[in-house]
């Protein structure tokens, strides 16, 4: 079995490891990973790997500084030693970028199961939940689910938090890394919300025309125009994690900054994961925790249904701006 691994201190340094496939124990299954998405979102997993425990999902046996960046994708059951999961079943969820994975299915239900592998039990349960794909869609729809599903779920959670807190009294929502897929999903949700403030995107000069052409943002600026950000009550949602940009905006907005939500690290090489920790009006947003809390506050299943409805609609409209690049094999 081949697996893609990166240097946890220098992500550009990578290797392909060849591992022996062990015999299954009673209750376990082996899945063959069919395909997965790899995007800037996965680099956030790497950049926050120590802080949020992402390196622990698929640990590297040798302690030589390398780790596995988790990915979202689809896999097929090729071997099973449990009556609860049959060979040939298809699963969607959190996998390593590798040829296969051994799992221990627990809490198996008609539409889902959890991986009960011991080392994963202290990690967020959302990442241990796998969808049992009973009606496989088109290849294109599965590609979009792998690519946009986790990102647009986060986008929906962010929109839900913003509206539930009356947008923190802001007159504009400022999205950093406005061309990122999570930002686009959030901008989509805000654009569909008649009560939302205006939506301003910040992006690179190269992506400025693209962001403006999406139709979701009321306006967009490039990072060289930070001083042009209107000095009105503003809530910032930061997908970039660039410490210099974030501080410049705090200085520029002053008391007009009503709240700052740190989400992603698309600018992982310029990030400071300790940025502003503990300061008032700032939080690190973690979607799995938010989903658990919000689900308890609403009727059973309501939040998940609403999120899925949004994800399906928003993902379907992504074909107007999104093109997929496919490569084959762990080496690629």
Complete domains list, the chain, with CATH: 2-136 (3.90.180), 144-289 (3.40.50.720)
Angle, vertex CA 141, rays to CA 139 and CA 142, nearest 5: 65
For the chain, the distance separating the N- and C-terminal CA atoms, rounded to the nearest angstrom, is 15
DSSP secondary structure, 213-266, as one string: HTS--SEEEEGGGGGGS--SSEEEEESS-BHHHHHHHHHHHGGGEEEEEE---T
* Residue-level pLDDT at 269: 52
pLDDT 10s digits, 17-70: 999 998 999 999 999 999 999 987 888 889 888 888 899 999 998 778 999 999
* Residue-level pLDDT at 96: 97
CA distance 148 to 270: 24
CA distance 299 to 267: 37
CA nearest 76: which of 63, 68, 85? 85
Q: What is the mean pLDDT of residues 77-102?
A: 96
Pairing verdict, β 105-106 and 112-115: antiparallel
* Residue-level pLDDT at 151: 93
* Residue-level pLDDT at 32: 97
% of the chain beyond a pLDDT of 70: 95
Is 70 exceeded by the pLDDT of residue 277? no
Q: What is the mean pLDDT of residues 185-199?
A: 96
Please enumerate in sequence order all residues whose Cβ is within 8 A of that of 242, keeping only pairs 6 or more positions apart, or say none: 176, 267, 270, 271
CA distance 173 to 101: 41
CA distance 288 to 157: 9
pLDDT 10s digits, 133-156: 987 778 888 999 999 999 999 999
pLDDT 10s digits, 286-298: 888 888 888 888 8
Q: Poorest-confidence range of 80-89, 192-201, 262-271?
A: 262-271
Q: Which residue has the tokens 């340094």?
A: 13
Is 50 exceeded by the pLDDT of residue 275? no
Pairing verdict, β 10-18 and 29-37: unpaired
* Residue-level pLDDT at 276: 46
Higher pLDDT, 34 or 325: 34
Say if CB 90 and CB 107 are below 8 A apart. Answer: no
pLDDT 10s digits, 252-274: 999 999 999 998 665 545 555 44
Beta strands in 263-306 (DSSP E): 282-284
Number of Cβ within a 10 Å radius of residue 2: 14
pLDDT 10s digits, 211-234: 999 999 999 999 999 999 999 999
CA distance 150 to 154: 6
CA distance 157 to 171: 20
CA distance 195 to 228: 24
- Select, from the ranges 49-53, 86-90, 308-312, 315-319, the one with the highest average predicted confidence (pLDDT): 86-90
Is 90 exceeded by the pLDDT of residue 183? yes
Is 60 exceeded by the pLDDT of residue 327? yes
Higher pLDDT, 264 or 163: 163
Tokens of residue 157, six digits: 């959670």
Is 60 exceeded by the pLDDT of residue 279? no
Beta strands in the chain (DSSP E): 2-7, 10-18, 29-37, 66-67, 71-80, 90-95, 100-103, 105-106, 112-115, 129-132, 172-176, 198-203, 219-222, 234-238, 257-262, 282-284
Q: Poorest-confidence range of 90-99, 108-117, 307-316?
A: 307-316
Beta strands in 50-179 (DSSP E): 66-67, 71-80, 90-95, 100-103, 105-106, 112-115, 129-132, 172-176
């Amino acid at each position: 079995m081949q697996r893609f691994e990166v240097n946890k201190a220098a992500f550009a340094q990578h290797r392909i490891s060849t591992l022996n496939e062990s015999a299954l124990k009673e209750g376990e299954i082996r899945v063959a990973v069919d395909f997965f998405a790899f995007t800037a979102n996965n680099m956030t997993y790497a950049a926050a790997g120590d802080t949020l425990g992402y390196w622990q999902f698929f640990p590297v046996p040798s302690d030589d500084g390398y780790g596995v960046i988790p990915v979202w994708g689809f896999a097929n059951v090729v071997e099973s030693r449990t009556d609860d999961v049959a060979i040939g079943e298809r699963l969607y969820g959190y996998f390593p970028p590798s040829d296969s994975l051994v799992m221990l299915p627990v809490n198996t239900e008609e539409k889902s199961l959890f991986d009960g592998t011991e080392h994963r039990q202290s990690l967020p349960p959302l990442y241990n939940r796998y969808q049992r794909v009973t009606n496989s869609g088109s290849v294109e729809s599965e590609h979009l689910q792998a690519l946009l599903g986790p990102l647009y779920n986060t986008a929906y959670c962010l929109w839900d938090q913003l509206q539930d807190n009356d947008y923190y009294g802001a007159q504009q929502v400022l999205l950093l890394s406005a061309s990122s897929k999570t930002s686009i999903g959030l901008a989509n949700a805000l654009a569909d919300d008649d009560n939302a403030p205006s939506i301003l995107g910040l992006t690179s000069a190269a992506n400025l025309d693209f962001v403006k052409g999406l139709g979701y943002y009321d306006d967009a600026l490039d990072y060289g125009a930070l001083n042009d950000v209107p000095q009105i009550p503003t809530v910032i949602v930061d997908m970039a994690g660039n410490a210099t940009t974030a501080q410049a905006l705090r200085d520029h907005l002053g008391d007009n900054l009503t709240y700052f939500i740190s989400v992603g690290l698309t600018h992982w090489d310029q990030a400071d994961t300790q940025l502003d920790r503990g300061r008032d009006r700032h939080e690190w947003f973690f979607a799995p925790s938010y989903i658990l809390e919000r689900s308890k506050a609403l009727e059973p299943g309501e939040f998940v249904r609403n999120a899925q409805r949004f994800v399906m609609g928003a993902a379907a409209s992504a074909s107007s701006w999104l093109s997929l690049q496919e490569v084959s094999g762990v080496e690629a």
